[in-house]
Amino acid sequence: MTFVSVVGARPQFVKLAPICQAFAELENGIGGVIEHKIIHTGQHYDDAMSRVFFDELEIPSPDINLDVGSGGHGAQTGEMLARLETQFIADKPDVVIVYGDTNTTLAACLAAAKLHLPVAHIEAGLRSFNRAMPEEINRVATDHCSDRLYAPTPAGVRNLDNENLAERTVFSGDVMRDTVIRNLAIAERRQQKSAQDSEEAYALLTLHRPSNTEPELLAALLPSLDAIAQKTVPLLFPVHPRIKATVSDISSRLSPAIRLIEPLPYLEMLCTVKQASFVLTDSGGLQKEAAFLETQCITLRDETEWTETVDIGVNRLTGINTAAIDKAITVAMQQRFDANTFKALDECFGNGQAAKLIVQDMISHFSQQ
């Protein structure tokens, strides 16, 4: 049986890593009857956004790289769709595995579904209920065109049930938690060896949502965050390539309390999040990674698909309202993770065995088709 994973963007490499490991462990046990291949669409192509994740997380090199690159949503998704269709017709995989909610996810799912190839969607069922987010469209379309839906959280299961997709749904836990658990000790050992370790307190800032990164918006937001940083702790800000030029234009108006740096590799990011006083972000994945690493998060959006992190009390939604952000930071800095927090996180996101469950379920489910 041949499974093919299709990935293309940074967060997908983090989700792919434990799936590769689960396949490898299984293949060792059953003597190579199962094959797992990787197609990289090339949505992310900078070394810092792609290659470093394959290296650090020991993901096998992609079997195929489609080199699609950047473009408008339609052009990028369409280009991937066309190239993936050609590839699937040539390779005839038994199952196509897609991850998360990017344009790569949607293109791979559509290409496979149109060829009547079974599709498994990892990280299914998430909803922000905000259709202005390109990811929300990708999620809804992918879930409805997929055959097996692996929901990482109880909220994901409920959302799929509400859309009459319960029969295809499996509650799997979150593969990103698997990756954090597997790599934290490695990251910490590596950091101890490096001399750059500093005792100074800081918080981490990431921004990349189109809704937060329009130039005029950033020009207002960054100086406000700078003012907050000056009275709390410095903000470490790894700048996403898409907003590099805009941030660089604004940077002369910022104080040294905002520290602009290149995107961080995964292992360094784990240590950076763990040691941060708090995280300010509009990312989806980072909201959870902060929780898994016992760091409080403030989400610069009005809604989240990771509602459990808010319910558990480790994440708060502020949008980009400076007064709300200020208040949330004060609250976050006083809050601690305790036994109840850890128990709730385990119940909602699983305890690091999601990939194993998914791979075993895929094999037993799709071999009966």
Contact segment (CB under 6 A) with ligand UD1 among 45-53, 116-124, 180-188, 198-206 equals 45-53
Per rule CB under 6 A, is residue 248 in the interface with ligand UD1?
Answer: no
Instruction: Determine, following the binding rule CB under 6 A, whether residue 40 of this chain makes contact with ligand UD1.
Output: no
CA-CA distances (angstroms) from residue 348 to 105, 240, 341? Answer: 24, 29, 11
- Closest contact distance (angstroms) between CB of 46 and ligand UD1 is 3
Does the footprint of ligand UD1 cover residue 43 (CB under 6 A)? yes
Question: Distance from CA of residue 21 to its chain's centroid?
Answer: 18
Cα separation, 144 vs 162, in Å, equals: 12
Q: Which of residues 9-28 bind ligand UD1 (CB under 6 A)?
A: 9-11
Contact between 103 and ligand UD1 (CB under 6 A)? yes
Q: Are 202 and 196 in contact (CB under 8 A)?
A: no
Cβ proximity to ligand UD1: between 70 and 340 the closer is 70
Closest approach, Cβ 102 to ligand UD1, in A, equals 3
**In terms of C-beta distances under 8 Å and separation of at least 24 residues, what long-range contacts does 79-86 make, across chains too?**
80/8, 80/41, 80/43, 80/104, 80/107, 80/108, 80/111, 81/107, 81/110, 81/111, 83/41, 84/6, 84/39, 84/41, 84/108, 84/111, 84/112, 85/111, 85/114, 85/115
The residue within the footprint of ligand UD1, chosen from 45, 337, 342, 366 (CB under 6 A), is 45
**At closest approach, how far in Å is the CB of 341 from ligand UD1?**
26
Q: Which stretch, 44-52, 155-163, 193-201, 267-275, contacts ligand UD1 (CB under 6 A)? A: 44-52
Closest C-alpha to 267, from 356, 182, 207, 178: 182
Window of 7-15, 119-127, 150-158, 199-207 that interacts with ligand UD1 by CB under 6 A: 7-15
For residue 80, the one-letter residue type is M
Q: Which residues contact 31 (CB under 8 A, 6 or more apart)?
A: none
With binding defined as CB under 6 A, does residue 78 bind ligand UD1? Answer: no
Catalytic residue among 40, 73, 116, 208: 208
Q: Is there binding between residue 241 and ligand UD1 (CB under 6 A)?
A: yes
DSSP bridge partners of 260: 237
Alpha-carbon torsion (73, 355, 32, 116), positive or negative = negative
Kindly tell me which residue out of 24, 26, 49, 181 binds ligand UD1, with binding defined by CB under 6 A. Answer: 49
Size of the site for ligand UD1 (CB under 6 A): 17
Q: Does 86 bind ligand UD1 (CB under 6 A)?
A: no
* Cα–Cα distance measured from residue 224 to residue 169, given in angstroms and rounded to the nearest whole number: 43
Site string for ligand UD1, 58-77 (x = CB under 6 A): ------------x-------
For residue 208, indicate whether it is catalytic. Answer: yes
Rounded to a whole number of angstroms, the minimum distance from the CB of residue 266 to ligand UD1 is: 13
Spatial separation of the C-alpha atoms in residues 26 and 34, rounded to whole Å? 8
Contacting ligand UD1 (CB under 6 A), which of 208, 259, 327, 365?
208
Cα distances (Å, whole numbers) of residue 228 to 169, 203, 207, 280, 320: 43, 11, 16, 12, 13
* Residue 253: how many other CB atoms lie within 10 Å: 10
126 is a contact residue toward ligand UD1 (CB under 6 A): no
Q: What's the rounded Cα separation, in Å, for the pair 215 and 136?
A: 23
Contacts of ligand UD1 in 166-205 (CB under 6 A): none
For the CB of residue 218, give the shortest distance to ligand UD1 in the complex, in Å.
14
Q: Which residues bind ligand UD1 (CB under 6 A)?
A: 9-11, 43-46, 49, 70, 101-103, 134-135, 208, 241-242
Name the residues annotated as catalytic. Answer: 208
